[in-house]
Amino acid sequence: MTVTKLLCDLKTFCERQTAHFLYCVPVQKGDTEEKCRPPNVFKQRVPHTDEAEKYSPLILVQYLGGGTKQPQGLRAETTAKIRISFCVYDRTSEEEGSMALLTLMDAVKHSLLQQVIIGKQFKLDLETGVEDEVYNENTAPYYIGELNCVFKLPPVEREVYYG
């Protein structure tokens, strides 16, 4: 349940941090002109992967895995590995598209590093840090990158029954 709450809170966080960004949307059948809007934000998957292009610009927040460990005598610590993927569309030039992607990624990354706590209970693991990667393959007019980070989740308390 906690991981799903983290994903929901990260989705809301990304929506708030990127609401003022307007990116072009690929022209769809029936469209007469190009439109611009903030990125769509999704959890775990894009609704229809075979039609992913029509959701661009987009941000995808994914849980990659995690774990719980409890050193003897200490509280349990649970972590979640998170990937935040970004995709923007720009048909003007590869330079413009690449810079649009970096601007979007930087906005989310800097906000994460400033806020650190998401949803009042999930703490960004600053020791692990936030890693970013841009896919430099020839994907024009789509530009894709990702942030990878780890969050510390609230501890699960054991219920002990006596009697």
Q: Is 53 part of any domain? A: yes
On whether residue 160 sits in a domain, the answer given is no
How far apart are alpha carbons 113 and 103 in whole angstroms? 15
Token digits of residue 29: 């059948």
Does residue 159 lie in a domain region?
no
Residue 63 lies in a domain: yes
At residue 137, the pLDDT reads: 85
51 vs 64, more confident: 64
Task: Please check whether residue 148 lies inside any domain of the structure.
Answer: yes
Please say if the pLDDT value at position 158 is more than 70.
no
Residue-averaged pLDDT of the chain: 90
What is the pLDDT at residue 139?
86
Query: For the segment 73-102, what is each residue's pLDDT rounded down to a tens digit?
Result: 888 889 999 999 999 999 888 999 999 999
- The count of domains in the chain is 1
What backbone phi and psi angles, to 5 degrees, belong to 54? -75, -10
Q: What is the 3-state secondary structure (H, E, C) of 3-20?
A: HHHHHHHHHHHHHHHHCC
Give residue 73's pLDDT. 80
Range of the domain at 138: 2-153
Distance from C-alpha of 132 to C-alpha of 28, rounded to nearest angstrom:
30
Is the pTM above the cut of 0.75? Answer: yes
45 belongs to a structural domain: yes
pLDDT in tens, 9-57: 999 999 999 999 999 888 777 777 778 899 999 999 988 766 666 788 9
**pLDDT score of 157 more than 80:** no
> Which CATH number does the domain housing residue 44 bear?
3.30.70.1700
Is 163 contained in some domain?
no
Round to whole Å and give the CA distance between 136 and 97: 11
Residue 47 has what pLDDT?
A: 82
Cβ–Cβ < 8 Å for 82, 61: yes
Q: Has residue 112 been placed in a domain? A: yes
